[in-house]
Amino acid sequence: MITIQHINKSFDGKQVLKDISTMFTPGKTNLIIGRSGSGKTVLLKSIVGLHEIDEGAIFYDDRDFTKMNHKLRKKLRQEMGMVFQGGALFDSFSVEENVRFPLDMFTNKTAKEKQERVDFCLDRVNIKNAHHLFPAEISGGMQKRVAIARAIVMNPSYLFCDEPNSGLDPETSLVIDELIHELTVDFKMTTIINTHDMNSVMEIGDNILFISEGEKSWEGTKHDILHADNKKLQEFVFANKTYRQRRDEKIEKNN
Ligand SMILES: Nc1ncnc2c1ncn2[C@@H]1O[C@H](COP(=O)(O)OP(=O)(O)OP(=O)(O)O)[C@@H](O)[C@H]1O
């Protein structure tokens, strides 16, 4: 569980996050959605400590992240897995070296134990016969799966994904979404995903936080969203005709 309370964040006098409070639950895919520039990335980066917030508190279970010193935060980071756009794979490392990297950095496991863990994680994300290939030799979808394997290799309690479907076709995006959802449920991780992808909202939105101009405008599930009477949310999610049709079909089916 991650709880955020009254988070405020400004850059050069411009307030980007305005009094945001919510809870992100374990075993659920928690989505942050909103227009470009609404503050999603700043929020996610604030939660993991890549930005310092001006006011408010962030709790990892009952641990107050905002009050931790550098050493304690570093320790807590080992419980976090991240699939960030900037944190792409290392080009000069093979697939398995990429996945092994956090184990080499942060654990004293033996070579055999590391290999077993790497094999388990690559198998879990359905990467086969590619252990010795380099990122440039595999597809974008496979690269994402390797990045996910690397993010879970330390068995994290918390998983953060920033636009995990960017640059992927719709079919591959669905595979990635399902994979993240499955892993979240299986390992009871508290997963927070920043996304623009409305398919993700409709398919894996266990909890959805809609940010508008730095404020929490709405929150609910993928089921609630069909009936939400928040105008900004409706305009944002159902701007596209296909999604409006899908919403109407779902509502009809449920009636
Ligand atoms: N390091 C920074 N310094 C100054 N302003 C920043 C910084 N990072 C973000 N901002 C500003 O904060 C606002 C929110 O940005 P943010 O990147 O969180 O939006 P977003 O919702 O993630 O957008 P997108 O969907 O396009 O990624 C923007 O106005 C942006 O210019």
What domains does the chain contain, in order, with CATH numbers? 2-79+156-254 (3.40.50.300)
Which residues are CB-neighbours of 134 under 8 A, at least 6 positions away?
A: 91, 92, 93, 94, 95
**Tokens 């993991």, residue located:** 48
Give me Rg for the CA atoms of the chain.
19
Residue-wise pLDDT tens digits, 75-119: 999 999 999 876 689 999 999 999 999 999 999 999 999 999 999
Per-residue DSSP letters for 113-137?
HHHHHHHHHHHHTT--S-TT--GGG
Tell me: pLDDT of 63 over 80: yes
User: What SS3 state is found at 154?
Assistant: coil
Q: Could you tell me the pTM of the whole model?
A: 0.94
Q: For residue 177, how far is the Cα from the chain centroid? A: 10
Distance 37 CA to ligand 1 centre (A): 5
Residue-wise pLDDT tens digits, 137-188: 999 999 999 999 999 999 999 999 999 998 889 899 999 999 999 999 999 9
Q: How far apart are CA 246 and CA 130, in angstroms?
A: 38
Q: How many CB atoms neighbour CB 64 within 10 A?
A: 13
Distance 54 CA to ligand 1 centre (A): 16
Distance 9 CA to ligand 1 centre (A): 11
Best probe residue, ligand 1, of 8, 16, 31, 200 (max atoms within 8 Å of C-beta): 16
